[in-house]
A and B are shown apart, each in its own frame.
Chain A
Amino acid sequence: MTAIKIDERVQRVSLITKALRRPELGALIGALVIFTVFAVVDTTGQFAQLQGAAGWTKFAAPIGIVSIFVALLMIAGEFDLSSGVMVGSAGLLLGNLISEAHMGVWPAILTTLVFAALVGLANGFLVIRTGLPSFIVTLATFFVLKGVNLAVTKLITGTVRVDGVDTGEGFDSARSWFATKIEFGGASFQVSVIWWIGFTIFATWLLTRTTFGNWIFASGGDANAARNAGVPVARTKITLFVLTSVAAALVGCMTLLELRGMQAGQGIGQEFYYIIAAAVGGTLLTGGAGSAIGASIGATIMGFAAIGIPYALWDQDWVSTFLGVILFLAVLVNTWLSKQAKGARK
């Protein structure tokens, strides 16, 4: 903290500095660079076309939908490691409700989302009540659900897979909402892309234009100061745990409806993709800063890699390595950029 005069400092707040202050800037630059690279090495001539876009958004949308809420939760200073397995739990629950309990698809989706909300509520309450780090609490939830997914699925179906959901009542109407394809300019996009864009806009609005968004930043920035100012920190965090869990469950429902079945191991490991997307998008791991758009850009970069690498005829086994390098570089650049912005983000 230097004791320079205010006027001197204000002059330096140029448009560039303002841009540097945006948490998603690093991710945006990264996305443009990566897009260009894959467009150049592309052997199919489709990567930079709408067909290519349909491909990488198909991969990015389900990651993006969850990572937006994971980012909000991280801004509030908490992690949810059970968000990946929740995709599987929700899909399996929905599948079993439809094919084994013979529920209508719509009531089954509603039941699944309520179940997810309860799990999120449990995560939130346990974190707040015990005062344990959310990393530990949700890691425990992760493993509990992982076991449940496998054991209960085997118990009910006798296999490690749930099938036969397309016979359920209302399957087609639910599919038209959650898992259909939309023709656009000769390419067929997943409807999940629209959900993803909608959630990005909603979460950005929530974060920057509402009281609740103010509370999210404050809870993660300095929970004590927030409490002193009258911010309901516990309620804010619990709400975010619920939203994250429900978003993961929604993706689980979409996946099940699209694939007409689900493996018991679905979703496991995805939680890291969500955290990577949020971190690449400029969300601080220690909380207090970040953006929903950034998380969506992070998810888009993953889509680029997942489609661009096979399009370039590179060995697809390297996708994870690529993502690891991107994560490191993006966070490095983000940190450097924020220093350039004169400590506007620390």
Chain B
Amino acid sequence: MNAKKSADPILELKGVGKSFGNVVALRDVDIAVYPGQVTCVLGDNGAGKSTLIKILSGVHKASEGEFLISGQKTEFNSPRDAMSKGIATVFQDLATVPLMSVWRNFFLGNEPKKWWKPLGILHTKFAKETAKTELMNMGIDLRDTNQAIGTLSGGERQAVAIARAVYFGANVLILDEPTSALGVRQSGIVLKYILAARERGVAVIFITHNPHHAFLVGDHFYLLNRGRMNASFVREKVQLDELIQAMAGGAELDTLTHEISVIRQD
């Protein structure tokens, strides 16, 4: 077991469900998220991952069930509410402004000011140095934080967004499919930063449809299928094959494998 694991979950969902009109998007979802651990939520397209993210990040309210933070029952009215409770969400492509420099992106919306604050004078020296050291702490070595963030690779941009959320005090970091648009190498970079955030004691919720990526970094695995929590595993007691099987719905994948092998024999 991880040394940083504390006995109590920082965030917990109990029997959470969400329906839009007569469409049930989520039903009976139980999740416990621990600080210093990576909790993976796996699911194929349409499994209810997006709905779950929106509930966690405060965009939607759950229709039923309980949302607990550090054991306290909580209700979010907006994403700002969630942020003030230390829950930060890094969305796949809405994280950064490509033409702006790395340090400007790092502090966007939370600019450090000097002298008389209402004047809004940027403390550029502090911002550049802090962005550089914070990124360095996450293992991102940028000598020039003046470069436009658009010149960084997709993986590095995700990493900057993660480092930013950690710096601004996120206890819970929700990552929405951070590797889905990336190549193998870039995905590796992002997975490395997920572990870096975990090392700093952040509770990471890693939402993905890629069991290989999840298996590399996850401590807990939850499987969503058709709006239900199908199965959950802990790291020590699961093999990659099991994850893939469970995610694709076991029997379904067997049938598919069989069908494909028949086609290939022709």
Contact = CB atoms under 8 A, between A and B. Distances in A.
A214 B150 CA distance: 16
A19 interface: no
Given A343-B148, A343-B150, A345-B99, A3 B185 contact: yes
B97 A217 contact: yes
Interface stretch (B15-23, B26-34, B102-110, B192-200): B102-110
B130 interface: no
Contacts of B146: 18
B121 interface: yes
Interface stretch (A162-170, A187-195, A218-226, A325-333): A218-226
Given A217-B100, A344-B148, A209 B121 contact: yes
A144 interface: no
Contacts of B94: 222, 224-225, 228
Given A214-B104, A228-B94, A343-B151, A288 B120 contact: no
Contact of B108 (A209, A212, A218, A344): A218
Please classify the interface of chain B as helix (H, G, I), strand (E, B), loop, or mixed, using the class held by over half of its residues. Answer: loop
Contacts of B156: 6
B124 interface: yes
Interface string B102-144: 0010011111010000011110100000000000000011111
Interface magnitude class on chain A: 20 to 34
A230 B109 contact: yes
B218 interface: no
B91 interface: yes
Contact of A222 (B98, B141, B147): B98
A209 B148 contact: no
Most buried by A among B94, B100, B104, B122: B100
A217 B99 CA distance: 8
A230 B80 CA distance: 9
Nearest to B114: A209
A221 B98 contact: yes
* Size bracket, chain B contacts: 35 or more
Contacts of B111: 211, 214
B99 A225 contact: no
B154 interface: yes
Contacts of A210: 119-122
B122 A10 contact: no
Contacts of A3: 153, 183, 185-186
B95 interface: yes
A2 to B, nearest CB: 7
A75 B97 CA distance: 13
Contacts of A66: none
B97 A344 contact: no
Contacts of A295: none
Contacts of B91: 228
Nearest to A221: B97
Nearest to A232: B109
A129 interface: no
A221 B100 contact: yes
B96 interface: yes
Nearest to B96: A225
B97 A288 contact: yes
Contacts of B110: 229-230
Contacts of A13: 143-144, 147
25 contacts: A1-B153, A3-B153, A6-B156, A10-B142, A10-B144, A13-B147, A209-B122, A210-B121, A211-B120, A214-B104, A218-B100, A218-B104, A221-B100, A222-B97, A222-B98, A225-B95, A225-B96, A226-B97, A226-B109, A288-B97, A342-B151, A343-B151, A344-B148, A345-B99, A346-B99
Interface of A: 1-3, 6-7, 9-10, 13, 18, 209-214, 217-218, 221-222, 224-226, 228-231, 284, 288-289, 342-346
Given A3-B185, A218-B108, 14 more contacts: A10-B142, A10-B143, A211-B111, A211-B121, A214-B100, A214-B104, A214-B107, A222-B94, A225-B95, A225-B97, A225-B108, A226-B97, A228-B91, A228-B95
Interface of B: 80, 91, 94-100, 104, 107-111, 113, 119-122, 124, 140-144, 146-148, 150-151, 153-154, 156, 183, 185-186
